Structure 1
Amino acid sequence: MGTRLAGKTALVTGATSNIGRAIAVAYGAEGAHVVVSGRDQRRGAEVIAEIVAAGGRADFVAAALDGSAKASGDLAAEATRILGGRIDVLVNNAGIYPGSSTVSTDETTFDTVYAVNVKAPYFLTAAIAPGMAERGSGVIINLGSWIARLGIPIGSLYSSTKGAVETLTRAWAAEYGPAGVRVNAISPGVILTPDMSANEDHPAQVMMRGTPAGGSGSPDAIAHAAVYLASEESRFVQGTVIDVDGGRVGVAVIAG
């Protein structure tokens, strides 16, 4: 067990798989009491068991963040209750990615993706940040994406939502920073999922060829950055988007 987040409380959305799960497990390993939030009770129980087995403390709260202020507010209230009246760290990780083109995206899909990826974290932050500001401390970490700043042919809808999240990061830093609340974001590159691990020709894997890292990253890479941003080590970091993408955005990729 580490101590970088000892005595802290944290809420991580979309924490039952991949990046969210890795962040929740890392927070538990560093001493935080973590509320793991997601849709799937079974997967949530697995994450809780992993954290507890390592000596951490965690609880699961089921939530379908549909973009409504009520859904976000209900999650904020229940997490606050479980965590003893305060949330020190909020990680807005939950999101959905439809790999559709602009023409093939219907209005229902458009509204759903914006509801989950933008409205849900917006209203969750609105429910939690004022309490942080009143106490004079808190951390909010948003999950952006490398394709918010580097266009790809498929994914205009998703990339626009992540662009919105990165803009909100700066706006919230200006709004809540003077009250002691640090707001930053992490922009992951291509992160391995189970279906990608066994397929080196997966389109996402191919997009990382030629980068300084030479391939896709692991969820743990994002979790390490999330621990840093939640800890006192980053107390002078405000309104920043940290690229954890193997150099995909910042370095020229030479096809070969």
Structure 2
Amino acid sequence: MGSFFASRRGLVIGLAIAVVLFFLSAFVVPEEEQAVVLRAGEPVGTVNTTTGDTNAGLYFRVPIIDQVRRVEKRLLDLEMNDEEVLSNDQQRLLVNAYARFRIVDPVRMVERAGSTDGVRAALEPILNSVLRQELGRRTFQAMLTAERGAALANVRANLDRQARQYGAEVIDVQIKRTDLPQGAPLESAFQRMETDREREARTIRAQGSRDARIIRAEADAESARIYAEAFGKDASFYDFYRAMQSYDATFAKENGNGAESSIILSPDNEYLRQFRGRR
């Protein structure tokens, strides 16, 4: 009887030890995470990485000896606070930017940065430096045009090159806000922009006036050419046509001052020859 209870107690203890060992060795990796298994501080395996053969699920490790370092698999944000940047036209700009990245090599990340927070701490000054260099090559007005996209593409490429050494890949870099500092610099920039627009408007008006004079001169020349051709083909008709225009202007009911016109001419006056049918 005593041996029965002893064997039963040993079975219970064995099951308890097995359960404890199971919970100590088993670990679950969800879809949004990847894991690095460390043994004595050295990586010996990975789970659910972007380039690995394993997927999310239940896995086992050697209890106590192995450690599991979990790494975020989703996109991560890198925020940059307002930083003062000097543009190519010597404008001091307050730039607020952010980058999005993900961990593509968790082993390297663990070895070089330790955690995703370590990656952020390493990339933040790099983003600041790269952004300063890139914006320093461009003017403030250029950052308000399509050239801004090219500048950010260069920033992303340079930041990604630096991020690879920490096992990260930079997906995107964007500028949330680009402002001029408050006070005299901002007012001076607005005045300079207003002066530039006024100068541009004067240039456009001068070009328009020049083009109008050219078009008017060309039209007068064309008119003179047509009149000359008409006079050369039929001088009598041309003389008659010009006389009719003169009569219309001379015998109008009102002159330019709004008063009626009165003209006294003798019947044989040369000016009235077209009324007499004399050519």
Q: State the TM-score, normalizing by the size of structure 1.
A: 0.20
Larger Rg belongs to? 2
Higher helix fraction (1 or 2): 2
Q: State the TM-score, normalizing by the size of structure 2.
A: 0.19
